[in-house]
Amino acid sequence: MPEPTIRDIDALVGPATPHFAYQLRARIRELIEGLPDAHPVRRYGEEQMELLDRLGHASSKAQDGGHEPRTRSGWDKLPSSAPADAPLPRRS
């Protein structure tokens, strides 16, 4: 297999949803496992794995645009409003 690239990682992470976050995280781990610790693609892959871990506890990536205010009408009726940058707390 050719050496993985940042583009390969972006292709996996780009369409990620909370439902598939951990499956994609595992694929990235396999993709970068043979790279040296200091390799830029490995470091990028580890950053994206952290994003996917947060996404697994969230309801959307919500990377583009601002957050909806919690004062918005109907907000309290949403089953989960946790974006990846502020995921739900982990269960112990």
Query: What are 1-54's pLDDT values in tens digits?
Result: 689 999 999 999 998 888 899 999 999 999 999 999 999 999 999 999 999 998
- Contacting residues for 26 by C-beta, under 8 A, at least 6 apart: none
Task: Output the pLDDT for position 40.
Answer: 98
pLDDT of 64 > 90? The answer is no
Coil, strand or helix: which one is 75?
Answer: helix
Q: Counting Cβ atoms within 10 Å, is residue 92 exposed (0-12), middle (13-18) or buried (19+)?
A: exposed
> What contacts 24+ positions apart, CB below 8 Å, involve 31-34?
31/4, 32/4
pLDDT: is 81 or 15 the higher one?
15
Q: Can you tell me which residue has the tokens 């200091």?
A: 38
Helices (H), the chain: 6-13, 21-32, 40-55
| Segment 57-81 mean pLDDT | 64
What residue ranges do the domains of the chain occupy? Answer: 6-67
| Segment 54-78 mean pLDDT | 68
